[in-house]
Amino acid sequence: MRRKALLVGLAVLVVALFAASLMVGKAVVPLSAWWSGDPRWAIIAELRLPRAGLATLLGASLGLSGAVMQGWLRNPLADPGVLGTSSAAALGAVAAIVLGGATQWGIFAAAMACAAGGLALLAGLTWRAETPAAFVLAGTVLASLAAALTMFLISIAPNPYVVAAAIDWLMGALTDRGVEDLTHAAPFMLAGCALLLATGRSLDALTLGPDAARSLGISLPRLQALVIAGAGLCVGAGVAVTGVVGFVGLVVPHMLRPLSGARPGALLVPAALGGAALVLAADIVCRLAPGAGEVRLGVAMALIGAPYFLVLLLRERGRSWG
Amino acid sequence: MGLTVDNLHVVLGKRAVLGGVTASFVPGRVTAVLGANGAGKSTLLRACAALLPASGGQVMLDGRDAATMPARERAQAIGYLPQDAAVHWNMTVRDLVRLGRLPHGDDGVEAIAAALAATDTAALADRPVRSLSGGERARVLLARVLAGEPRWLLADEPLASLDPLHQLETLALLRAAAGRGTGVVLVLHDLTLAARVADDVLLLKDGAVLAGGPAAAVLTEANLAAAYGVRVAILPHAAGPVIVPQGRA
């Protein structure tokens, strides 16, 4: 009953924010313009609709990846970034910007190729690993390596414009993303989400530790493959079209765990809805910034995420020290 | 029929932990697996639940090789309670006990209610696990295994970290499960409690069987001296023999 109320509430929130995302921007387009033949309809159909769609998918896939990653690693501080996929995808995108002509499709393809390469490297490094700690370590290796190569590429960029383009891209944004971005990324994100949604029961069982989970008939190698492929597809495709957007995967499961209950499987769908709502809301805030420009989505997420964790910290401190 | 171990070898890392163990467990009876630290007790239990690969020999469950039967079918037959009673998320007792139904893929409302009732934890059903005392938590984890209605219940030191009253209550629960026809296999450290609860005893030393059979026949001064390297006195008592370690054998 309570779970149904939570899901309905979150779904209503996502729909409302989606509608708001279509209306709000540097120019406010009222609802009535949608069906009255108003020329401003073009703003909605060509600019805001794909952007809102991308925000919804990106948020849902990041929130879901975060919930799955926390359940799998049995650590509430895990997030999709720990596998190093986002860093690898960012490396691919920056390589395309610095070395290639940086067409939209070129950036996407390079980022996805690097994300896949990163996942293959991760799978190789953790071959037959027994503990999740091995994945965190391998992910850290991958992330550091990718970050170093990304900086190297930026340092050898032929001119300052390319440097600016690469750094601009790394900050993560939904600005000016079009229908092509949505159609490139959506199949990968949806496939990734489908894989991640299949992990619920296994994650529940893993609450009791790996031995007990296996004794309940859960295949840990299958779970591992689902998590890595699913999170890799979601994060890789997300970074490939929007740049690096952090905190969603970390914050959303935290926010919703008290409402959904601590069972990891019960957190998956709420985390997807909550992630979509959070990214839609953050993207609206980005557009409302005064002046001609927009705040970067990655920056806005960090600005939302940091105070949230400060509050958590203060509450924890009150509990254990007070 | 039953759960039998045939010339089982298990290698962990580079160490041969079990070197040719042969044993058979009987439905409806409680078997205590005893032995010194490192004798291979937990390894034997984990291998019986097919959680460890055998490097030789096999575990047979009702005449079939446990290692190759479908995981789900094996999970329905064998309930395993690990020694490390970690609960990583603070879920409610009811959600935790419901995990025992995973191999069956159903709600198992009656089985869950029965498991909660048997372990006297029905009143705790809506409490978060981390609000429980150690004894309550141990009972809830046992309820999780009972909810799966396994034909074999393998428990690794189910009495560790329990106070005497909860030890007795847990033993009574395990005995009751055996009374319903479940084969119960326990790794225990406390010899007196083992003597009190077990029908059969399997005594391990250095990864091999030192002695096996009815508890009274196995729990002798000579066997215990050989297995643990201690001199023991076995004192008769109305509640069962009391085994007192006295010094190096």
Per the DSSP assignment, residues forming a β-bridge with A299 are none
DSSP designation for A44: I
Q: What is the ipTM of this complex?
A: 0.91
Contact at CB, A215 and B144, closer than 8 angstroms: no
Query: Could you tell me if B66 and B60 are in contact, meaning their C-beta atoms sit under 8 angstroms apart?
Result: yes
Q: Please tell me which of the candidates B75, B91, B148 has its beta carbon nearest to residue A262.
A: B91
Q: Per-residue b/e over B153-188, b at no fewer than 16 CB within 10 Å?
A: bbbbbbbeebeeebbbbbbebbeebbeeebbbbbbb
How far away is chain B from the Cα of A213, in angstroms, using its nearest Cα?
A: 9
Which amino acid is residue B133, in one-letter code? S
CB atoms within 10 A of CB A316: 10
DSSP designation for B186: E
**Chain B contact present for A201, CB below 8 A:** yes
DSSP designation for A293: S
Residue A177's alpha-carbon distances to A46, A105, A174, A302, in angstroms, are 10, 12, 6, 21
- Residue A168 burial by Cβ neighbours in a 10 Å radius (0-12, 13-18, 19+): middle
Q: What token pair was written down for A186? A: 């959506």
pLDDT: is B210 or A308 the higher one? B210
Contact at CB, B82 and A211, closer than 8 angstroms: yes
pLDDT: is B127 or A181 the higher one? B127
Contact at CB, B89 and A209, closer than 8 angstroms: no
For residue B144, the chain A residues in CB contact (below 8 A) are 208
Q: Cα(B24)–Cα(B7) distance, rounded to whole angstroms?
A: 11
- Quote the pLDDT of residue B27: 94
Q: Cα(A244)–Cα(A141) distance, rounded to whole angstroms?
A: 18
Q: Cα(B44)–Cα(B206) distance, rounded to whole angstroms?
A: 12
Find all residues with CB under 8 Å of A249, minimum gap 6, and list them: A62, A63, A65, A66, A67, A69, A79, A80, A81, A275
For residue A216, the chain B residues in CB contact (below 8 A) are 75, 99-100, 102-103, 148
Name all domains of chain B by residue range, CATH numbers in brackets. Answer: 3-248 (3.40.50.300)
Contact at CB, B51 and A219, closer than 8 angstroms: no
Find all residues with CB under 8 Å of A176, minimum gap 6, and list them: A47
| Tens digit of each residue's pLDDT, chain A (322 residues) | 688 999 999 999 999 999 998 888 777 777 777 777 777 777 777 788 889 999 999 999 999 999 999 999 888 888 888 888 889 999 999 999 888 766 778 888 899 899 888 888 888 887 777 677 788 888 888 999 999 999 999 999 888 888 888 888 888 878 778 888 888 899 999 999 999 999 999 999 999 998 999 999 999 889 988 998 999 899 989 988 888 888 899 889 988 998 998 899 999 999 999 999 999 999 988 888 777 777 888 888 888 888 888 887 888 776 655 4
- Quote the pLDDT of residue A322: 41
Say how many residues make up chain A: 322
- Residue B184: is its pLDDT beyond 70? yes
Find all residues with CB under 8 Å of B128, minimum gap 6, and list them: A262, B90, B91, B92, B93
For residue A204, the chain B residues in CB contact (below 8 A) are 95, 99, 102
Which amino acid is residue B125, in one-letter code? A
Which amino acid is residue A132, in one-letter code? P
Q: Cα(A239)–Cα(A244) distance, rounded to whole angstroms?
A: 5
Residue B122's alpha-carbon distances to A201, B116, B153, in angstroms, are 23, 5, 21
pLDDT category of residue B57 using cuts at 50, 70 and 90: very high
Q: Please tell me which of the candidates A71, A216, A219 has its beta carbon nearest to residue B102.
A: A216
Q: Cα(A40)–Cα(A55) distance, rounded to whole angstroms?
A: 21
How far away is chain A from the Cα of B50, in angstroms, using its nearest Cα?
A: 8
Closest CA in chain A for residue B140: A208
**In a mutagenesis test of the B interface, which of A216, A219, A223, A256 is the best target, namely the one with the most B β-carbons within 10 Å?**
A216
**In a mutagenesis test of the B interface, which of A128, A204, A211 is the best target, namely the one with the most B β-carbons within 10 Å?**
A211
Q: Give the total number of structural domains in chain A.
A: 1
Which amino acid is residue A154, in one-letter code? I
CB contacts < 8 A, A to B, total: 73
Reduce the DSSP state of residue B233 to 3 states and report it: strand
**Chain B contact present for A214, CB below 8 A:** yes
H or E stretch covering A68: helix A49-73
**CATH code: domain of residue A288:** 1.10.3470.10
Q: Cα(A107)–Cα(A94) distance, rounded to whole angstroms?
A: 8
Mark residue A193 as left, alpha or beta (left: phi above 0; alpha: psi -120 to 50; beta: remaining): alpha
Average pLDDT (B240-247) is 90
**In a mutagenesis test of the A interface, which of B81, B99, B129 is the best target, namely the one with the most A β-carbons within 10 Å?**
B99
Contact at CB, B95 and A214, closer than 8 angstroms: no
**Chain B contact present for A293, CB below 8 A:** no
Contact at CB, B89 and A74, closer than 8 angstroms: yes
Closest CA in chain B for residue A201: B102
Q: Cα(B143)–Cα(B53) distance, rounded to whole angstroms?
A: 27
Closest to A237 (Cα-Cα) out of A90, A120, A136, A94: A90
Q: Please tell me which of the candidates A209, A218, A263 has its beta carbon nearest to residue B82.
A: A209
Give the residue numbers spanning the domain of A104: 2-320
**In a mutagenesis test of the A interface, which of B88, B144, B149 is the best target, namely the one with the most A β-carbons within 10 Å?**
B88
Q: Please tell me which of the candidates A71, A215, A264 has its beta carbon nearest to residue B51.
A: A215
Contact at CB, A261 and B86, closer than 8 angstroms: no
